[in-house]
């Protein structure tokens, strides 16, 4: 298991397939802030609310100089269905092999109804223009989260 990331360290590099074609790579956002949010699964209630909240505030994130990228282990096809069904505007990266969720330390053991399994811990990383992690939110609760991240982006 990967070492837990902390603020003040360089964000791990990544390149992910995008549902809208092409790749999403951290290096492509140099000079820009990046909000990287990891979520468990497309088309589920909490993940849908989170992606919609980030979409609703996307113009404000852009004005504050930040790109917003959502990452799960879902396929690009499933991401495309998710985007289309809910009118999402945020970038969605597919981490089917789980390498990026491992690098960021968000692939964790979870428990649901007494059953243990591995899954993505809902987490968000705010990365500055130089590629350094400035803020980390773990075990995210969706209500108010996008707004709290937006405030942190504006303060950076």
Secondary element (H or E) of residue 120: strand 115-120
pLDDT value of residue 111: 87
Residues labelled catalytic: 47
| Domains annotated on the chain, with CATH | 15-155 (3.40.30.10)
Give the chain's mean pLDDT: 94
Distance CA 21, CA 101 (A): 21
What mean pLDDT do residues 99-108 have? 94
What mean pLDDT do residues 62-73 have? 97
Task: Please list, residue by residue across 111-128, b when 16 or more beta carbons sit within 10 angstroms of its beta carbon and e when fewer do.
Answer: eeeeeeeebbbbbbbbbb
Distance CA 89, CA 110 (A): 29
pLDDT digit string, tens, across residues 74-85: 999 999 999 999
Q: Is pLDDT of 11 > 90? A: yes
What stretches of 1-155 show up as alpha helix (H) in DSSP?
45-56, 58-63, 76-86, 99-103, 145-155
Q: Is pLDDT of 125 > 90? A: yes
pLDDT tier at 1, thresholds 50, 70, 90:
very low
Distance CA 39, CA 50 (A): 8
pLDDT tier at 93, thresholds 50, 70, 90:
very high
pLDDT tier at 112, thresholds 50, 70, 90:
confident
pLDDT value of residue 3: 63
């Amino acid at each position: 298991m990967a070492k837990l990331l902390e603020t003040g360290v360089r964000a791990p590099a990544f390149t992910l397939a995008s549902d809208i074609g092409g790749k999403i790579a951290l290096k492509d956002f140099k000079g820009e802030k990046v909000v990287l949010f990891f979520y468990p699964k497309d088309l589920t209630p909490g993940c849908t609310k989170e992606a919609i909240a980030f979409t609703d505030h996307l113009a404000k994130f852009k004005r504050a100089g930040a790109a917003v990228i959502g990452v799960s282990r879902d396929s690009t096809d499933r991401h495309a269905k998710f985007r289309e069904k809910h009118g999402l505007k945020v970038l969605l990266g597919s981490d089917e092999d789980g390498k990026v969720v491992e690098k960021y330390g968000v692939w964790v053991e979870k428990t649901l109804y007494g059953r243990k399994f591995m899954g993505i811990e809902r987490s968000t990383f705010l990365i500055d223009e130089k590629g350094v992690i400035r803020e980390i939110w773990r075990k995210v609760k969706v209500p108010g989260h996008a707004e709290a991240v937006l405030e942190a982006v504006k303060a950076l």
